Amino acid sequence: MERTLYREIKATGPLWQAAVWLGLFVAAMLASVVYVEHHGHAVTGMTNHVVWGLPHVFAIFLIVAASGALNVASMASVFDKTQYKPLARLSGVLAMALLVGGLAVLVLDLGRPDRLLVAMTTYNFRSIFAWNVLLYTGFLGIVAVYLFVQMSRGMPPGAIRSMGTLAFLWRLALTTGTGSIFGWLVARPGYDAAIMAPLFIAMSFSFGLAVFILVLTALYRLAGRPLGAGLVIRMGRLLAIFAALVLYFTAVQHLTNLYAAEHAGIEAFILSEGGMYTALFWGGQVLIGGLIPIAMIYHPTFGKTPQAARAASVCVVLGGFAQLYVIVIGGQVYPMELFPGYAVTSGFGDGAVAAYQPRWPELLLGLGGVAISLLATGLGAKVLRILPTNLSDANTGSDIGQEG
Amino acid sequence: MVRLLLPLVLMLAAGMSAAGDRSSLWPDVPKATGAPHAEGNAYWRKHHMEMMRHDRDLTMRDGDRMIAASLKGCFDCHTVTDETGATVTYASEKHFCRSCHDFAAVKVDCFMCHRSTPDGVDETVDHAALTDRRAGDILAYLRAIGEGGE
Amino acid sequence: MTRIKGAELSRRDFLRSGAAVASATLAPGVTLIAFGGSQAQAAADAGKRWGLLIDAGKCDADCSACVSACRDENGWGGHGDADRDAQWIRKVTLQHKATGHETTMPVMCQHCAEPPCVDVCPTGASFKRVDGIVLVDKHTCIGCRYCMMACPFKARSFVHEPVVNQKSHAPRGQGTVESCTLCVHRVDAGGTPACVEACAGAGYEAILFGDLNDPDSQISKRLAEYPSAALRPDLNLGQGVRYANL
């Protein structure tokens, strides 16, 4: 085993190519923002019924994945899993990059993005949204310090461990806050559930690790550095457990709701009568995002290959988007009751399932956020010494074959 | 230093005398109707935003309607008409607020929500460019930018 | 802080000069509210709790005088896109699920005592005045729409397009959230909301406006005498708008 050496990745042709593509997506995002700013949100698919649309699905995915991406570093410095130690730096950079990408989408979708300063200086401390602004900025600061202590020479291991613990606790608070944005909305039957917070934490474990596996693989391919199959397979097994955890919390969420007669309507909508939302729930979230990746990882032969972990990661990401679409959009299109015992109708669509059709500007905005995250991660790997030169299994002690 | 400054001062002086008492680059503040501000124009030029911001919070948050400074109050006296005699809106360079704000390059955010003329003036025509182009798709918009239509 | 203090000083100075302006430029007997005439109030009264009592039994299914009056008063005319146009007030039809009994009534901001929109607003732009009127401070609204997620009545609208020709007493603009103001500009001048006036004008008198804190007000007496309910009573929000004869 050689010593772990962290080096910047070299500027190869494929790396530049990837950067140009991502840059194009960021440019398209900015064009879309100018367009929506000029014409108002009327040119998006969002309405007074569905006030948070596709951009918020992207933003919340990125923010949730951000806190999850930090788990690899936490496992190394908080839970002493030494195999993950060489990955801790990338974990921190990716976590920050994903959060920045998600926040960019969230901010640029505001009705008045020019008032970002107002959002950062005027707080209503009764609002979980305001607390989230502090949690997000705090996360960026804490992870930056965590990265700094990891990367400086001569730091006592205790410093890394304490910063790692602080970052881990902070990320749990952050995802609790993100879940509570929905969980504390008492008016809407699709939200208003304390389980939203732990559900979002489980989602962050799962989405964050899936994104980490994919980004790690892509970066090592672009840099032409060896990445051991055993390490990827090991992370894949962890991913299967996280995906199962998401399924578990989803099951508890819906079983609890099914037990309460007042929630029968929303449950029937999501689970059986909701058309596209039902299809996205069962087909996207449960099947593609849960059962298929778990089956791939635990397959007796395919499961022993790194391809299984990568394919499972792609599935978890896709299923994650489906899940957030069902939560964010599905929870809004389902009508609210106005008075118990009465059916309500109006010219404003009361009592009816609202229509939502995402439009191009929203998709470009969301994809631009993903591009910002990836571009920032790549830039981090290019200018900072965060990636080990050699991640072969012999070097990380991740040889699955030896362990049996 | 003096050698450098002297020609500059001379040039400025020449420019001033040519345009009367001030350079032609100076903002041309439109004449107002009604009684002048008791505090004097200099005071208002300096403090109008503080006064309006202070009073807007009093009015909106506390319901204080005995206010001194309001946009509506401004336009009781500070309206500008164009050649046809129509009252101009913030879309026109001649608008009272713009005459100085364009010069100082300070963007006015008020008229995103507030009207820029007294009640009763139809602002629709002046702002047609703002409201008319409800382009349905982003491609048409990008094309318009490409053709220099923006 | 010094800037605020400075503004306050100048404000007092100006109040004096402003009164002078009013007397100098206006005909005798004409009160100019903006300049501190006798009609204008110095502050919202914390002892009051403004509210509406809507008698669904008197509301005519085919009448929408309240909606058009509100639109004219506050200038929120739409573009024919029901899902994106502003809806400060709307007519809804309630049908009892068991009996089939139908009633119609207007729904607007319910001016809750415990407004969820105020709780969730990250910047505090959503706020409740001391007299119970819930408003949006569009100077600090960033257009995040979280209040719209939180409102159980869909009473709030997001301005989806550029706006011109606003009323000077009802500023509204693209990218911010708005809702019924209980015609705060009329209430502060001692008047009643436009919808109340229009309903009475149409001959129905289905909407009653008044001070819920004053036991002698017409609205308080009516509420004490007849049964009424708030929308979504399960949420216990203490709305200022109540409904009778559902």
In this prediction, residues B123-132 reach a mean pLDDT of: 67
C128 vs C122: CA distance, rounded Å = 15
Give the 3-state secondary structure of residue A280. Answer: helix
pLDDT-based confidence at C33, cuts 50/70/90? Answer: very low
pLDDT in the model for residue C2? 36
pLDDT in the model for residue B3? 58
pLDDT above 70: residue B150: no
Q: Closest Cα to residue A193, out of A137, A241, A115, A259?
A: A259
A307 vs C243: CA distance, rounded Å = 63
Domain ranges of chain B: 1-30, 70-146
Shortest alpha-carbon distance between residue C124 and chain A (Å): 5
Residue C214 makes CB contacts below 8 A (sequence gap 6+) with C48, C220
pLDDT above 50: residue C9: no
Helix axes A13-39, A196-223, angle to 10 degrees: 140
Longest dimension (CA), chain A: 72
pLDDT in the model for residue A61? 98
- Contact between C68 and C198 under an 8 Å Cβ cutoff? The reply is yes
Q: Closest Cα to residue A147, out of A377, A370, A373?
A: A377
Instruction: List the structure tokens of C140.
Output: 């600090």
CA angle A201, A206, A210 (to 5 degrees): 145
pLDDT in the model for residue C30? 38
Instruction: List the structure tokens of C26.
Output: 């206006």
Q: Say yes or no: B39 contacts chain C, CB-CB below 8 A.
A: yes
Longest dimension (CA), chain C: 67
C52 vs C231: CA distance, rounded Å = 13
| CA nearest to B150 within chain A | A38
pLDDT in the model for residue B130? 59
Each residue's pLDDT expressed in tens, for chain A with a length of 404 residues: 567 889 888 888 889 999 999 999 999 999 999 999 999 999 999 999 999 999 999 999 999 999 999 999 999 988 988 888 899 999 999 999 999 999 999 999 999 999 998 888 889 999 999 999 999 999 999 999 999 999 998 888 889 999 999 999 999 999 999 999 999 999 999 999 999 999 999 999 999 999 999 999 999 999 889 898 999 999 999 999 999 999 999 999 999 999 988 899 999 999 999 999 999 999 999 999 999 999 999 999 999 999 999 999 999 999 999 999 999 999 999 999 999 889 999 999 999 999 999 999 999 999 999 999 999 999 999 999 999 988 888 777 766 544 43
C212 vs C47: CA distance, rounded Å = 10
Radius of gyration of chain A (CA): 22
Helix axes A13-39, B138-146, angle to 10 degrees: 100
pLDDT in the model for residue A260? 87
Are C229 and A339 a contacting pair at CB < 8 A? yes
Shortest alpha-carbon distance between residue B107 and chain A (Å): 12
pLDDT above 50: residue C20: no
Output the CA torsion C123→C126→C127→C133 (10° steps): 170
Best mutation target among C1, C4, C5, C11 (most B Cβ atoms within 10 Å) is C11
- Distances from the Cα of B57 to the Cα of B47, B48, C189, angstroms: 16, 14, 18
Does residue A192 or residue B14 have the better pLDDT? Answer: A192
Nearest-by-Cβ selection for A118 from C94, C123, C156: C123
Residue B99 makes CB contacts below 8 A (sequence gap 6+) with B27, B28, B29, B30, B80, B93
Quickly name the fold that domain C50-244 has: Alpha-Beta Plaits (3.30.70)
Which chains have 3+ CB pairs within 8 A of B?
Answer: A, C
| CA nearest to B72 within chain C | C168
- Contact between C171 and C74 under an 8 Å Cβ cutoff? The reply is no
CA angle B115, A48, A106 (to 5 degrees): 90
Q: Say yes or no: A39 contacts chain B, CB-CB below 8 A.
A: yes
Q: Closest Cα to residue A77, out of A163, A148, A139, A156?
A: A163
Q: Say yes or no: C159 contacts chain A, CB-CB below 8 A.
A: yes
Nearest-by-Cβ selection for B134 from A31, A32, A39: A39
Does residue B85 or residue C32 have the better pLDDT? Answer: B85
**Chain C, window 173-192: residues with a beta carbon less than 8 angstroms from a chain A beta carbon:** 174-177
pLDDT in the model for residue A346? 93
pLDDT-based confidence at C29, cuts 50/70/90? Answer: very low
- Backbone φ and ψ for C157, nearest 5 degrees, come out as -125, 145
Residue C164 with chain B: CB contacts under 8 Å? 89, 115, 123-124, 126-127, 130-131
A75 vs C190: CA distance, rounded Å = 66
Residue C245's Cβ-count burial label (10 Å; 0-12, 13-18, 19+) is middle
Q: Kindly report, residue by residue over C61-81, the tens digit of the pLDDT.
A: 999 999 999 999 999 987 888
Which H/E stretch holds residue A173?
A: helix A157-183
DSSP3 helix / strand / coil % (chain B, rounded to 5): 50, 0, 50
Shortest alpha-carbon distance between residue B4 and chain A (Å): 42
Residue C87 with chain A: CB contacts under 8 Å? 48, 348
Instruction: List the structure tokens of A322.
Output: 């489906």
Q: Say yes or no: B142 contacts chain A, CB-CB below 8 A.
A: yes
Buried b (16+ CB within 10 A) or exposed e, C55-74: bbebbeeebbbbbebbbebb
Q: Kindly report, residue by residue over B76-98, the tens digit of the pLDDT.
A: 999 999 888 889 999 888 899 99
| CA nearest to B76 within chain C | C34
pLDDT-based confidence at C108, cuts 50/70/90? Answer: very high
Domain ranges of chain A: 6-243+356-398
pLDDT in the model for residue B6? 57
ipTM associated with this complex: 0.91
Nearest-by-Cβ selection for C17 from B38, B60, B71: B38
pLDDT above 50: residue C15: no
- The whole-model pTM stands at 0.89
Residue A32 with chain B: CB contacts under 8 Å? 138
Q: How far is Cα of residue A15 from the mean position of the Cα atoms in its chain?
A: 24
C133 vs C51: CA distance, rounded Å = 8
Are C164 and B127 a contacting pair at CB < 8 A? yes
Are B130 and C168 a contacting pair at CB < 8 A? no
Residue A338 with chain C: CB contacts under 8 Å? 92, 94, 107, 153, 231-232
Quickly name the fold that domain A6-243+356-398 has: Formate dehydrogenase/DMSO reductase fold (1.20.1630)
Best mutation target among C138, C144, C156, C228 (most A Cβ atoms within 10 Å) is C144
| CA nearest to C231 within chain A | A339
Residue type at position C165: N
pLDDT above 60: residue C82: yes
Residue A39 makes CB contacts below 8 A (sequence gap 6+) with B133, B134, B135, B141, C161, C162
Are C84 and A119 a contacting pair at CB < 8 A? no
pLDDT in the model for residue A157? 82
pLDDT-based confidence at C37, cuts 50/70/90? Answer: very low
- Contact between C145 and C158 under an 8 Å Cβ cutoff? The reply is yes
DSSP string, A89-109: HHHHHHHHHHHHHHHHHHHHT
- Contact between C162 and A40 under an 8 Å Cβ cutoff? The reply is yes
- Distances from the Cα of A18 to the Cα of A24, A317, C38, angstroms: 10, 20, 70
Q: Token pair 């060489």 is at which residue? A: A86
Give the 3-state secondary structure of residue C5. Answer: helix
Q: What's the start-to-end Cα distance of chain B, in Å?
A: 46
Which chains have 3+ CB pairs within 8 A of C?
Answer: A, B
Nearest-by-Cβ selection for C148 from A40, A51, A184: A51
Instruction: List the structure tokens of A206.
Output: 């799962």
- Contact between B126 and B89 under an 8 Å Cβ cutoff? The reply is yes
Q: Say yes or no: B86 contacts chain C, CB-CB below 8 A.
A: no
**Chain B, window 119-138: residues with a beta carbon less than 8 angstroms from a chain A beta carbon:** 133-138
Q: Say yes or no: A360 contacts chain B, CB-CB below 8 A.
A: yes
Which H/E stretch holds residue A175?
A: helix A157-183
**Polymer length in residues for chain B:** 150
Q: What's the start-to-end Cα distance of chain A, in Å?
A: 20
In this prediction, residues C108-117 reach a mean pLDDT of: 97
pLDDT above 90: residue C1: no
- Contact between A75 and A81 under an 8 Å Cβ cutoff? The reply is yes
Shortest alpha-carbon distance between residue C141 and chain A (Å): 8
- Contact between A76 and A88 under an 8 Å Cβ cutoff? The reply is yes
| CA nearest to C177 within chain B | B113
C151 vs C120: CA distance, rounded Å = 10
Nearest-by-Cβ selection for A31 from B133, B135, B142: B142
C25 vs A39: CA distance, rounded Å = 42
